[in-house]
Amino acid sequence: MLINHPILGPRDAAEFVYKGDARLIHRPDWQADDAVAQFTDYGYLRDNPAGLHRELWFHEQGDRSWLVVTRDTTTHEITKVELARDVARAEGRSR
Amino acid sequence: MHYSGFKVIKEALTGHRGWGPAWRDATPKAQYDYVIIGGGGHGLATAYYLAKEFKQARIAVLEKGWIGGGNVGRNTTIIRSNYLLDGNEPFYEFSLKLWEGLEQDLNYNAMVSQRGILNLIHSDAQRDAFIRRGNAMILNGADAELLSTAQIVERYPFLNVNNARFPIKGGLAQHRGGTVRHDAVAWGYARAADRRGVDIIQNCEVTGFRIENGTCKGVETSRGFIGAGKVASCVAGSSSRLMEKAGMRLPIESHVLQAFVSEGLKPLLPGVITFGAGHFYCSQSDKGGLVFGGDLDGYNSYAQRGNLPVVEDVCEGGMAIFPNLGRARLLRMWGGIMDMSMDGSPIIDRTHIDGLYFNGGWCYGGFKATPASGYAYAHLLATDTPHKTATAYRFDRFATGHMIDEKGMGNQPNLH
Ligand SMILES: Cc1cc2nc3c(=O)[nH]c(=O)nc-3n(C[C@H](O)[C@H](O)[C@H](O)COP(=O)(O)OP(=O)(O)OC[C@H]3O[C@@H](n4cnc5c(N)ncnc54)[C@H](O)[C@@H]3O)c2cc1C
């Protein structure tokens, strides 16, 4: 599997470490009234779809950036690769 | 029809005209007391024990494909009960005891072979950990023995004990562990369940649930609606896809695990060896093929096939301790979709929907669990209380902090 890194170009997926669902970008607010429920959900529940999946990959043996990869879990085909930083900012995270 | 040596001889002398199908091709009825979704090992075992041990009737098993087409026919057939934690070890030991009596119970030759399993040790720290595990096993009524390198060499003279990175310093053996012919487990349970009146319905995919006022009334299928008193999900790698139709999100990711078989060789490897540090394990099938595997590919997948880096990794691990493996040609390789849970342990529990039950999260170790999983799930379905060996396999353990994390890896499914 090749991951087309936005900065470095196509890289072997074996250079990366897989983290999972890209929703993990959005850590819940620890002061929310239902923080325990939100963190249980964040820590342990997953959509786990058959089909398109947005997921976090860490370029451990490369430039150590986090990427959001859109991949089809039924074919392994990758259709989109973004820097996780850009995704997080676009989705409203300040840090 | 009862199978026996006498029957085999009689059929051999009369042209094998007396054999019938091992189970009926049932057509779905409108209503059952129990509908079990998924005709893998666990679903079939559940149906069998519901009928036999818990004296229930009007049971159907719905399978979207054919019996034996899922992970029950794709695994590397290892059985063992060498777990550490209290939530797990009694359950897996119960399972191993059920394996020991399985063939007589089912009247089916499942080729249960207690050839022993050996976990290799490479360092003092690993030895300490395995001694602790062995003691936990013995405390729970299982068998465990710590072997020296000399004892290992005696049994496995071809192992490379002087690998520079992972020299073999001993091993933890469970002599009652071994292998079982996986397809025969599916067929044996299917036949035995059928003989007790269970309807086994193949080519019947569950496409939705009928849930009214918080109660599950039955399932929508590719062969029409089927009503049920209790609906039991048991679909392994498809768990998230199925339960999504009931509006549930699960503590599970689906991952692909690959396995490999070499060409047939003369008897070489008497037992099962696992080289955990190098992510490699191997046994030899009765046909002579070396059956081996290693790590997950490591990313969510429903593709039932993996990629090449893991092939290389597994073969490198094998060559490191088992150098003559390099002389064997690879015959086949394949993948199966694993229901990897967040702590590496399974779930056998009710859901928040009345009448809907769940069994899943078996990771890559669910084959050995087949008899106990079926028994415990049948217990839960029939009595609405968990079996005494399966009380820890709850949905809410993630919220309450009672994870059963054998490897201490945390909520990262691809590391379990
Ligand atoms: C390569 C590999 C090696 C393994 N090695 C071992 C091992 O050595 N030891 C061990 O203990 N375990 C091992 N496992 C794990 C073990 O195989 C599984 O944990 C276990 O088989 C899962 O339970 P099952 O048999 O019920 O699953 P399955 O046989 O997968 O049964 C699930 C069934 O549900 C059906 N289904 C899915 N969706 C629907 C639907 N909507 N409607 C109707 N039916 C549906 C599927 O078609 C399937 O037949 C291995 C797995 C793999 C892939």
- Is residue B40 within 6 Å of ligand 1 at its C-beta? yes
Question: CATH says B112-177+253-341 is which class?
Answer: alpha beta
In a domain, A55, yes or no: yes
User: What angle (nearest 5°) sits at the alpha carbon of residue B261, between those of residues B259 and B265?
Assistant: 155
Contact list, A20 vs chain B (CB under 8 Å): 253, 300, 412-414
User: Phi first, then psi: what are they for A82, rounded to 5°?
Assistant: -130, 160
From CA A43, how far away is CA B253, in angstroms rounded? Answer: 12
Write down the pTM of the prediction.
0.97
Mutate to test the interface with B, among A2, A16, A27, A44 (most CBs of B within 10 A): A44
In a domain, A95, yes or no: no
**Distance from the B102 Cα atom to the nearest Cα atom in chain A, whole angstroms:** 35
Q: Please give the number of the atom of ligand 1 that sits closest to the Cα of B334.
A: 1
Q: Please give the number of the atom of ligand 1 that sits closest to the Cα of B38.
A: 34
Nearest by CB: A75 against B298, B300, B303: B303
Q: What are the angstrom distances between the C-alpha of B310 and each of A63, B261, B322, B334, B392?
A: 23, 15, 18, 12, 33
* B46-52 average pLDDT score: 98
From CA B309, how far away is CA B311, in angstroms rounded? Answer: 5
From CA B293, how far away is CA B240, in angstroms rounded? Answer: 25
State the alpha helices, DSSP H only, in B156-215: 182-195
Domain assignments of chain B as residue spans, ordered by start: 13-78+182-251+343-415, 112-177+253-341
Q: What are the angstrom distances between the C-alpha of B42 and each of B67, B94, B102, B158, B334?
A: 11, 15, 14, 37, 21
Q: Is A46 part of the contact surface with chain B (CB cutoff 8 Å)?
A: yes
- For chain B, the average pLDDT equals 97
> Residue B44 — pLDDT band, cuts 50, 70, 90?
very high
Asked if residue A93 has pLDDT above 90, the reply is no
Contact list, B205 vs chain A (CB under 8 Å): none
**Distance from the A41 Cα atom to the nearest Cα atom in chain B, whole angstroms:** 9
Nearest by CB: A45 against B251, B300, B307: B251
Q: What is the CATH number of the domain that holds A14?
A: 3.30.2270.10
Amino acid B304: pLDDT: 87
Is A20 close to B252, i.e. CB distance below 8 A? no
Convert the pLDDT of each residue in B132-156 to its tens digit.
999 999 999 999 999 999 999 999 9
Q: What is the DSSP string of B340-376?
A: EESSS--EEEE-SSBTEEEEE--GGG-STTHHHHHHH
Amino acid A95: pLDDT: 67
- Strand pairing report for B224-233 and B356-360: parallel
Contact list, A37 vs chain B (CB under 8 Å): 399
Asked if residue B124 has pLDDT above 70, the reply is yes
- In a 3-state reduction of DSSP, which class is residue B229? strand
* B313-340 average pLDDT score: 95
Is A50 close to B302, i.e. CB distance below 8 A? yes
CATH number for the domain whose boundaries are B13-78+182-251+343-415:
3.50.50.60
**Distance from the B359 Cα atom to the nearest Cα atom in chain A, whole angstroms:** 16
Amino acid B115: pLDDT: 98
Is B309 close to A14, i.e. CB distance below 8 A? yes
Q: Is A59 part of the contact surface with chain B (CB cutoff 8 Å)?
A: no
Q: What are the angstrom distances between the C-alpha of B67 and each of B95, B183, B226, B359?
A: 21, 9, 19, 18
Q: Is A34 part of the contact surface with chain B (CB cutoff 8 Å)?
A: no
Nearest by CB: A48 against B250, B309, B414: B250
Convert the pLDDT of each residue in B63-101 to its tens digit.
999 999 999 999 999 999 999 999 999 999 999 999 999
In this structure, which residue's CA is closest to atom 24 in ligand 1?
A: B40
Asked if residue B354 has pLDDT above 90, the reply is yes
Q: Is A11 part of the contact surface with chain B (CB cutoff 8 Å)?
A: no
In a domain, A42, yes or no: yes
Contact list, B342 vs chain A (CB under 8 Å): 43-44
In a domain, A18, yes or no: yes
How many structural domains compose chain A?
1
Convert the pLDDT of each residue in A55-68 to its tens digit.
999 999 999 999 99
Asked if residue B296 has pLDDT above 90, the reply is yes
Asked if residue A94 has pLDDT above 80, the reply is no
Q: Are A78 and A12 in contact (CB under 8 A)?
A: no
B242 Cα–ligand 1 center, Å: 14
Enclosing domain of residue A79: 2-90
Q: Is A52 part of the contact surface with chain B (CB cutoff 8 Å)?
A: no
Nearest residue of B to residue A39 by CA position? B399
